[in-house]
A and B are shown apart, each in its own frame.
Chain A
Amino acid sequence: MSVTELLQRSELFSGLTPKQVEQIAALGQEAVYNAGDVVIREGDPSDEMYIIRSGMVEVLVSGGRIHDVPGPPQLTSLVRLGQGQLFGEMALVDRGARSATIRCVEDGTVLHVIPRQTFWALCDTDHHMGYIVMRNIASDLSFKLRHRNLQARLAGGAL
């Protein structure tokens, strides 16, 4: 399966033509990680969005106040994300610091890394494509929020 075909299996590209997917794919590059590798760290500056082409990552957040606790922070796993999922998309929307740590859980996890600035430049030149992609990002964020809400409900509000 080609990179474009793999990326078309991501909701991010739903509604785009193969040519448009190729345009966005060309903005990014492949990165390969092994189990235990940290891709992004909570609190760091954010400049890229990631699409999981294969493998699995987990989303972790630190407990307590990050900067006041000596030693490595205690991390809690919120969810695992598999093929086709994206992360780091909040950086494209709000330019804020990373809100979570992302760590790989499978060897040979392949990510497609898209820089924010070049991505926005492409969306600025093609507003219709930009609208579709931003709608898809909103849909993905909504899905993740619904997942968290269901987790909290099933855990009796423990989250």
Chain B
Amino acid sequence: MIYKVSYVVVGKPHPGEIVNLDTPPRVGDLVHLGSELFEVIEVIDLIPSRGDFAYLHVTCQPVQEAT
């Protein structure tokens, strides 16, 4: 399965990313978007999976705001 992931950032201006991943992100994961580190705070199925693709939306926030 390929996970097509839409990352949206809250808490600071950031354009977010759309990337393909081999494993699904989980709440609490730390992810690099560019050179910045973020914490995943929400993962939802954006639309039903089709073929080899699953479609996820991830909301994340800057790590310093999570502590």
Contacts and interface: CB of A to CB of B under 8 A. Distances in A.
* Residues of A in contact with B, size category: 20 to 34
A144 B18 contact: yes
A143 B8 contact: no
Contacts of A82: 17-20
Interface string A91-114: 000000000000001000000000
B57 A150 contact: yes
Contact of B15 (A80, A142, A146): A80
SS of B interface (majority): strand
A130 B2 CA distance: 22
A151 B8 contact: yes
A14 B25 CA distance: 22
Contacts of A15: 51
24 contacts: A9-B2, A11-B4, A11-B20, A56-B34, A58-B15, A77-B15, A79-B16, A79-B18, A80-B16, A80-B17, A80-B33, A80-B34, A81-B18, A81-B19, A82-B20, A105-B34, A143-B46, A143-B47, A146-B6, A147-B18, A150-B6, A150-B59, A151-B16, A154-B10
Interface of A: 9-11, 14-15, 56, 58-59, 77-85, 105, 139, 142-144, 146-147, 150-151, 154
Interface of B: 2, 4, 6, 8, 10, 15-20, 33-34, 46-47, 50-53, 55, 57, 59
Closest 6 pairs (CB-CB, A-B): A82-B19, A84-B20, A77-B15, A147-B6, A80-B17, A14-B51
